């Protein structure tokens, strides 16, 4: 069910949170052996939450009784949160992230912690101490990353909603690969308090859902100012559900010429062209635009993001929490052995890169220049938005690739985020919505990009397209041999 279908069942008295939890556990039993989307799941914990909701006598919040899977880098008090890394083995946060507080106030059921690329470093959900997550549409393929577990759990109908985090495409690319809706909000729209940091100037928490309406509802709950996050925007949150159905006739949408050339998979391109025709039929005006510095986005990102990651991950040293190397003879050995054994290869690679670009003699040549190019990339978007209301691009240049296909070639892996990274550099909102399937039966995503703090335009455009196209109604078949 979608969130709204589930809520209607609740209103009609046809089900209750405890029954929903029992069905969710059945779904986990069917799907998890095949896809491994969850890093931690405790049916008893979930059952206790449902019982508490049913005993409550106060007003019911907007997500009352709705299961939400949480990415394993968002702090939930008393629950194992590890960023899919050995170095945080056994860590249980003593507090809740702001988004978790807001979910609980809205009556949501926290359904478990989703698998991810270690510390959100990856585009395939293969860099995890728990092992890889698989794509529900094709178990030989990746679900995308780093929020692959969140996207896969929604695609497999384990839960109707999930939280992910997006630093360079980590919500949108998995949403595209798994055929679900994923939103990277404007930087500052959602509090980062309680999100274990990757790159603090780029990270943003956001929703994954089966439909645009469900994503809008979850956004309504988690958006808003938080004084505990100094980068949080103190702006009102519009009523997205009221605005979502107001129509799109006359909406001006840009198609960047740089995003539809070399490197775009033929099957993806075919589905995008069909989507553009449907947009025109809805009364949307499409026009060609240019984002001339698109090619600089990936090198700029991998300087800035690794530099910030190197700084942020310095705190994981085995002293206060998580994994600690036993029997170290001195402090340096404790640090070196703990970090050497606790971090995986992709995390080490990015720490080394980030430390290098911040080092004496290279800081201005790499980090300083990257900051300047980031400003130029943002200016490209500023000029584009003088002509159009929003921008459409592919979410990813290809459909989901096979497990192991790009593990030995990090640069090729990094290129899978070519259409998403620039949005994080510019701090913009962007939403991926399903727009078809390749001849191999793999989902394709269409990315809607908006002006800062104008998520309502994205919801409105994507909802109109979704209703016309109908791709959100498709579901992957259950794994062979499974029975629900």
Using DSSP's 3-state secondary structure scheme, residue 114 falls into strand
Cα–Cα distance list, 380 to 351, 419, 430, 447 (Å): 30, 14, 16, 17
The structure tokens listed for 268 are 């993806």
Q: Is 146 annotated as catalytic?
A: yes
Q: Across the chain, what does the average pLDDT equal?
A: 96
CATH level 2 (architecture), domain 3-290+391-473: Alpha-Beta Complex (3.90)
**H or E element at residue 39:** strand 38-40
> Which residue carries 């997205």 as its tokens?
240
Per-residue pLDDT reduced to its tens digit, 308-339: 999 999 999 999 889 999 989 999 999 999 99
Percent of the chain with pLDDT over 90: 94
- The packing angle between helices 43-55 and 17-35, to 10°, is 160
Percent of the chain with pLDDT over 70: 99
Sequence-separated (6 or more) residues with CB below 8 Å from residue 257: 288, 289, 290
CB 167 within 8 A of CB 158: no
CB 142 within 8 A of CB 400: yes
CB 317 within 8 A of CB 387: no
Q: Is the pLDDT of residue 484 over 80?
A: no
| Alpha-carbon gap, residue 279 to 250, rounded angstroms | 11
Q: Is 230 annotated as catalytic?
A: no
Q: Is the pLDDT of residue 483 over 60?
A: no
Q: Is the pLDDT of residue 421 over 80?
A: yes
- Our measurement of the distance from residue 335's CA atom to the centroid of its chain's CA atoms, rounded to an integer in Å, reads 31
| Alpha-carbon gap, residue 389 to 441, rounded angstroms | 32
Q: What is the DSSP letter of 35?
A: H
Q: Is the pLDDT of residue 379 over 70?
A: yes
**Confidence label for 414 from pLDDT (cuts 50, 70 and 90):** confident
**Confidence label for 151 from pLDDT (cuts 50, 70 and 90):** very high
- Identified catalytic residue from 37, 123, 124, 146: 146
Q: Which sign does the torsion angle of CA 8, 24, 431, 164 carry?
A: positive
The structure tokens listed for 342 are 């606790």
Q: Is the pLDDT of residue 482 over 60?
A: no
> Which residue carries 């946060």 as its tokens?
93
- Our measurement of the distance from residue 423's CA atom to the centroid of its chain's CA atoms, rounded to an integer in Å, reads 13
- Identified catalytic residue from 85, 150, 170, 191: 170
| Alpha-carbon gap, residue 245 to 230, rounded angstroms | 34
**Confidence label for 462 from pLDDT (cuts 50, 70 and 90):** very high
**Confidence label for 360 from pLDDT (cuts 50, 70 and 90):** confident
Per-residue pLDDT reduced to its tens digit, 230-274: 999 999 999 999 999 999 999 999 999 999 988 899 999 999 999
CB 418 within 8 A of CB 297: yes
- Find, among 300, 306, 317, 316, the residue nearest to 351 by Cα: 306
Using DSSP's 3-state secondary structure scheme, residue 214 falls into helix
Q: What pLDDT is recorded for position 481? A: 58
Q: What pLDDT is recorded for position 35? A: 98
**For the purposes of burial, counting CB atoms within 10 Å of the CB of 44, is it exposed (0-12), middle (13-18) or buried (19 or more)?**
exposed
Residues 381-385 have a mean pLDDT of 98
Per-residue pLDDT reduced to its tens digit, 109-145: 999 999 999 999 999 999 999 999 999 999 999 999 9
Q: Is 474 annotated as catalytic?
A: no
> Which residue carries 């702090």 as its tokens?
75
Q: Is the pLDDT of residue 29 over 80?
A: yes
Q: What pLDDT is recorded for position 404? A: 95
Residues 447-452 have a mean pLDDT of 98
**Confidence label for 69 from pLDDT (cuts 50, 70 and 90):** very high
**Confidence label for 470 from pLDDT (cuts 50, 70 and 90):** very high
3-state secondary structure 292-357: CCHHHHHHHHHHHHHHHHHHHHHHCCCCCCCCCCCCCCCHHHHHHHHHHHHCCHHHHHHHHHHHHH
Residues 41-45 have a mean pLDDT of 98
Q: Is the pLDDT of residue 391 over 90?
A: yes
**For the purposes of burial, counting CB atoms within 10 Å of the CB of 311, is it exposed (0-12), middle (13-18) or buried (19 or more)?**
middle
Domain boundaries, the chain: 3-290+391-473, 294-374
């Amino acid at each position: 069910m979608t969130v709204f279908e589930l809520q209607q069942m609740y209103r009609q008295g046809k089900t209750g949170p405890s029954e929903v939890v029992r069905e969710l556990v059945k779904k986990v039993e069917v799907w998890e052996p095949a896809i491994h989307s969850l890093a931690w799941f405790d049916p008893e914990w979930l059952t206790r939450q449902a019982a508490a909701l049913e005993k409550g006598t106060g007003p019911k919040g907007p997500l009352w009784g709705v299961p939400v899977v949480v990415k394993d880098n968002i702090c939930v008090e008393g629950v194992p949160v590890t960023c899919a890394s050995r170095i945080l083995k056994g860590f249980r946060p003593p507090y809740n992230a702001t988004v978790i507080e807001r979910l609980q106030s809205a009556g949501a059921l926290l359904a478990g912690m989703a698998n991810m690329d270690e510390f959100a470093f990856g585009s395939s959900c293969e860099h995890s101490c728990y092992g890889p997550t698989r794509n529900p549409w094709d178990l030989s393929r990746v679900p995308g990353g780093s929020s692959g577990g969140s996207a896969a759990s929604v695609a497999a109908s384990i839960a109707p909603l999930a939280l992910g985090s997006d630093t360079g495409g980590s919500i949108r690319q998995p949403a595209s690969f798994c055929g679900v809706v994923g939103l990277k909000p404007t930087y500052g729209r959602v509090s980062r308090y309680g999100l274990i940091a990757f790159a603090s100037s780029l990270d943003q928490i956001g929703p994954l859902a089966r439909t645009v309406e469900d994503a809008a509802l979850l956004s309504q709950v988690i958006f808003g100012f938080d004084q505990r996050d100094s980068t949080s925007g103190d702006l009102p949150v519009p009523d997205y559900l009221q605005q979502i159905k107001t129509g799109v006739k006359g909406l001006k949408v840009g198609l960047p010429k740089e995003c539809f050339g070399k490197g775009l998979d033929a099957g993806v391109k075919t589905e995008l062209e069909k989507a553009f025709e449907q947009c025109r039929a809805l009364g949307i005006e499409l026009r060609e635009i240019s984002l001339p510095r698109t090619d600089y986005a990936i090198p700029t990102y991998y300087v800035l993001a690794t530099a910030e990651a190197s700084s942020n991950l310095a705190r994981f040293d085995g002293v206060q929490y998580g994994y600690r190397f036993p029997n170290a003879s001195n402090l340096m050995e404790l640090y070196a052995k703990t970090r050497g054994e606790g971090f995986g290869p992709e995390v080490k690679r990015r720490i080394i890169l980030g430390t290098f670009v911040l080092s004496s003699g290279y800081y201005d040549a790499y980090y300083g220049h990257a900051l300047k190019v980031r400003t130029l990339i943002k200016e490209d978007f500023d000029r584009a938005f003088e002509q159009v209301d929003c921008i459409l691009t592919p979410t990813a240049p290809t459909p989901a690739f096979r497990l192991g296909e790009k593990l030995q070639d990090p640069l090729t892996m990094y290129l899978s985020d070519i259409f998403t990274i620039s949005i994080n550099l510019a701090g913009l909102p962007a939403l991926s919505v399903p727009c078809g399937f390749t001849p191999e039966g793999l989902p394709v995503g269409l990315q809607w990009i908006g002006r800062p703090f104008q998520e309502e335009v994205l919801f409105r455009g994507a909802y109109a397209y979704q209703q016309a196209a109908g791709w959100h109604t498709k579901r992957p078949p259950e794994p062979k041999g499974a029975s629900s």
